Structure 1
Amino acid sequence: MENIGWKPGLESGLNVWNAKWMNGVTPEPQDRLLDPAFIFLGTLQVRELWKSDLTWNAPLVRTLFKEQDAERIIASTLCMSRKQDAVFWPLTNDGVYSVKSGYGIAFMEFFEKKGTIKDKSRISMTGRGFCKSRLWSLPGPNLWKILIWKIITNTLPVGFEFQKRSIEGNHICRMCLEDQSYSETIEHIFRDCGLSVRVWAGSLLGIRVEGVTMVPLSERIINWLRYLEKMEDGERRVLVFLATLWGLWTTRNNAVFKGDRVIPSVLLESIANNVDIYLQAMRKKKEHSEKVLGQAMPSIGGNETRAIKDGFPVYMVGGRDQCRRIRVKVDAGWSKNLAAGIGWVAYDGEGIMFEHGSRKITAESALHAEALGILAVIQWAAGKGFLHLEVVSDCLPLLCQIAGYAGVNHVVKGILQDLKGLYACFHCLGFSYIARNLNAVAHGLASRAMRL
């Protein structure tokens, strides 16, 4: 239960200091509040941080919490359609628990107890999150990533591990090019073996394995991946790196079980072929996905319809024959200091602009800002009494979440619930995608509002 997060409802009974209600964590209080004189604040509830109009009481929030946490709280949005507190799982994007995320926690706890990892950031590609989360998001087949996982966790079945367990057999490296007897360890296979040294030197990745024996191989692999990702053409370099590790492992297996011997040039050619095969498969997968997305979708029940307009995905609520509507282009800008701005431009049925607007807001992420922008546009249109509305955005991930093509991120789930509550205000409501360069006016308004 300690990893469960909470989304406050309008009738929230969450304790400010005990519950993980700030995007899955408990906000940190100001140092002066730790004084016993402020013990009366111990029963403070989240709903007491709101003003009468259900917006955050910014001065109170900044008084109670440290600056970074206070700004994150003020940037968050309350779901007006949810009265009770809701549970969510903060370690997944959609807020739903998965075995994979639970395994990541078990992995962390195991290594912390074992003492292998003293700092969580040491096993993270970016200093945040879990090693497993970053690993599985890398390009490449899962088999390659599983191999890296086993290297990091020291669970590969190599000769040295058999020898430690008193298992009889030949425990020396079978793929060494020299006729010398080296114990088959994970470090030797992927770093110290004569074949490995030649393969890394010929891979053109800029990686040198000589003279790094003082650094554990698991840490070195993470550092190499971080280094390759930041380089030009980083995705392909990471693929080559993963393919090289996989090639060395399969070569070792062939040497052990089949007695095969491979020279470095042949192995390097095989590695390049594996990378090309993967990239070709990904291109075909992308083409297939775009083809499926470009096909008209059947009715999904009720008055909701998925369709295609001008080659872009559209999501409509209402009768398809009621197509006469105003068109509003909306965009949002966001910066890492949580400052954001939204801008929108409204066009009539003849394509003539008749109104526009912008506003500075705070948001937790770019996706959050885009969702707030769409919500603001729909609230504006409902207040004006428009019955036929098409909302146009350049944020395809958010549109896919609205239409049900993709899972909903827990940060915007409450906003999308409020959006659905406004559907009844319209006879026909549509969402469509537009390229960024065709949404320049709304983008300019949002950028200018963000800088105010």
Structure 2
Amino acid sequence: MPKDESLTHTPLSVSHLFDASNHCWNARLIHQLFDEVFAQAILSIPLPYHPKQDKLIWILDSKGRFSVKSTYRVSIAQEPQSDHSDVPWMKLWKARIPERIKMLLWRIGTNSIPTKENLSCRLEHIDPVCTLCKSVSESCVHLFFGWHISRALWYTACWGFRLDQNMVQTFEDIIKLVLEPPVSTLPSYDKWLITLNMAFTVEEIWHLRNNILFQDAHIDISKSSKSVMSRFSNTATALGVIARNHKGEVTGIWGRCRSLCPPLQAEAATLLWAIEIAKREHWHHVVFEGDAKACFEHLSQSDSTPDWLISTFINNILGLALCFSSVKFSWVRRVGNSAAHEVARFALSSIQSFIFHNGNIPPVIEFVCKADYPACISFS
């Protein structure tokens, strides 16, 4: 959506947004034309190395192809869920949210969080009345959605979210709402961002409640809202690459962060970065290993159609693969890729991109590399 509505009818093609000389988006023009959310979404789209013919993509299907089946699935997903549906615990454990918040949500979903109502059921002489509003019992539902401060925080910190009176009636409904948020204007592949934002909001309400009760903190909706937004905006995707020689010895470790994106896209971006590094280092015989099964399946099956989210990445990878004398893509289980994941975690705590060589590898990464392949590093 353009910033200026008068531009809506102005003839403008996507090619006008390219910087052809540098083979990248014209970031300055994009920020001039579009709001920040739309500008960041455009800038996150990868550009192909070689020109490709335009085609229509049905974004509600992972392959980008329209079908009656995909339309049916979308319509079914938008139907109201049964009040007696179970909590989707597996969806919680697989959600792209911090582990500490998963545990908080699990405690809320099992009604084991120490609200005053729960404590009064287990201990004598505990007043169940909410200390914050002094009007009703402090249950999970009241604390996170009934308390007027929490309702205000939901509206200010979570994209203007307004709570329907019948939306949350039990502690289980809280988890269902976070993991299966209401229909929004975001594309289906970006709905996990709503879950992430809602999870941060739940955590902030719990922190705010505890700070008021135990540290005599003052209520500041603006400060709490900014805290949620800061955590959400600072969330990034980390990439980690480890190179070994034919003896298994580590020759280089690379790490960096990029803007938040769907997990599948992050995995494809990491693999593309790895092959770019190999080309830059002038390696001739290479083997690429990783646990991104969806990516490696498409790289080993030339006739398969990749998810449209990573199709450009896959095409660019296959194009660069022609630069090597021999190249092989090999999928490994996640347990066999622990060193690369440690590099990615290290990248999240780093301010800048980094590269390490054997001799200056941080101990935490060196230890995982040693465990991953005992003969690869000699400890001093």
Decide which structure has the larger Cα Rg and report it.
Answer: 1
TM-score (normalizing by structure 2): 0.48
